[in-house]
């Protein structure tokens, strides 16, 4: 594409040419439609013909007719104007956050709670936006958000990266912990279980990489209850933790939203007495919502779902 050559042409000249065609090759009617005097229309089209170095109209006929060059130019320029109109519309829709792409980091905490409602509402409002969902550990998510590989994610707070001035943590959901244990466990008959009752149990612990907050909170709560948890296994993904519990490997303290996962062989019981209240926060780069309309709209949907 020769931009230097194309810069010799004005869009207004081309639009006046099309307006004359739509007015039945009548310059006066085209000027009336455009709301201007007739001479500027004639002057603009003369300037267009001079830049093109061709005559577009046969002015010896009445009414005026297009020259062969004019007919070819009209056919092609209508396609170009249609593409230009589409480009303008696409740019405006992108500015409103209606089209484009958003990369979302997800984990078990949000997947088991608000994510389905967030996705449903966002897709209803913005069906042309392509959402790319990535299952990530906590460390992976923080790194990829910092490296601009992920636009938005979800994490529990308090969080060790919460003080990073380049990141924004917005609390959206209150969370607590439950005890997950095999369905045939002797304690499964109780509706609430004191943590002290688990002092002799083997624990399946979410990994410190995938869920550092839950990992550390489990240890801290057990220590507050007077014992050090006996960790028999660590696991990265929630489905693995639940499978190990179902297999009788041990028990675990998990986010209460895990109740939405109906894993055969596993039951969930409330913690008797003191519990820990946690929050799930939406996470993104500080100030990014000001430059990304799609992220801004996604955050608004999250707030609508979380605060409704």
Residue 61, domain extent: 3-95
Q: Among the three residues 31, 61, 95, which one is the final residue of a domain in this structure?
A: 95
Q: Taking 80 as the threshold, does the pLDDT of residue 210 lie above it?
A: no
Q: Among the three residues 62, 95, 128, which one is the final residue of a domain in this structure?
A: 95
Residues 153 and 292 in one domain: yes
Q: Taking 90 as the threshold, does the pLDDT of residue 172 lie above it?
A: yes
Residues 54 and 121 in one domain: no
Residues 190 and 71 in one domain: no
Could you tell me the CATH number of the domain that includes residue 213?
A: 3.40.190.10
Could you tell me the CATH number of the domain that includes residue 55?
A: 1.10.10.10
Residues 30 and 118 in one domain: no
pLDDT band (50, 70, 90) for residue 147:
very high
Q: Among the three residues 51, 77, 95, which one is the final residue of a domain in this structure?
A: 95
Residues 16 and 142 in one domain: no
Average pLDDT over residues 217-237: 92
Please state the domain count of the chain: 3
Residues 63 and 81 in one domain: yes
Residues 249 and 118 in one domain: no
State the pLDDT at residue 158: 80
Q: How far is Cα 40 from Cα 13, in angstroms, rounded to an integer?
A: 10
Residues 166 and 254 in one domain: no
Non-local (6+) Cβ contacts of 258 within 8 A are: 108, 112, 178, 180, 238, 242, 268
pLDDT band (50, 70, 90) for residue 275:
low
Residues 147 and 284 in one domain: yes
Residues 71 and 120 in one domain: no
Residues 272 and 183 in one domain: yes
* pTM of the predicted structure, to 2 decimals: 0.73
Give every strand in the sheet of 177-182, ordered side by side: 192-194, 266-272, 177-182, 252-255
Residues 195 and 272 in one domain: yes
């Amino acid at each position: 594409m020769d931009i230097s050559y194309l810069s010799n042409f004005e869009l207004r000249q081309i639009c006046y040419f099309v307006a004359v065609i739509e007015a039945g090759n009548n310059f006066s009617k085209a000027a009336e439609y455009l709301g201007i005097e007739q001479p500027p229309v004639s002057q603009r089209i003369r300037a267009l013909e001079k830049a093109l170095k061709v005559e577009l109209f046969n002015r010896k006929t009445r009414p005026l007719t297009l020259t062969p060059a004019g007919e070819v130019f009209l056919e092609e320029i209508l396609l170009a104007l249609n593409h230009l109109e589409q480009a303008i519309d696409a740019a405006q829709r992108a500015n409103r956050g209606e089209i484009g792409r958003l990369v979302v980091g997800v984990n078990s905490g949000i997947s088991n709670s608000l994510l389905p409602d967030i996705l449903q509402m966002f897709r209803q409002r913005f069906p042309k936006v392509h959402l790319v969902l990535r299952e990530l550990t906590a460390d992976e998510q923080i790194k990829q958000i910092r490296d601009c590989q992920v636009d938005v994610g979800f994490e529990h707070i308090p969080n060790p990266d919460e003080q990073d001035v380049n990141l924004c943590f917005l609390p959206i959901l209150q969370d607590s912990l439950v005890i997950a244990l095999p369905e045939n466990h002797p304690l499964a008959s109780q509706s609430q279980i004191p943590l002290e009752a688990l002092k002799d149990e083997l624990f399946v612990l979410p990994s410190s990489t995938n869920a550092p907050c839950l990992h550390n909170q489990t240890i801290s709560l057990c220590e507050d209850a007077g014992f050090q948890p006996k960790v028999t296994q660590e696991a990265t993904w929630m489905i693995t933790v639940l499978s190990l519990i179902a297999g009788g490997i041990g028990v675990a303290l998990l986010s209460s939203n895990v109740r939405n996962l109906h894993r055969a062989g596993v039951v969930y019981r409330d913690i008797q007495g003191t519990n820990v209240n946690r929050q799930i926060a939406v996470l993104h780069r500080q100030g990014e919502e000001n430059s990304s309309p799609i992220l801004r709209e996604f955050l608004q949907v999250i707030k609508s779902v979380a605060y409704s």
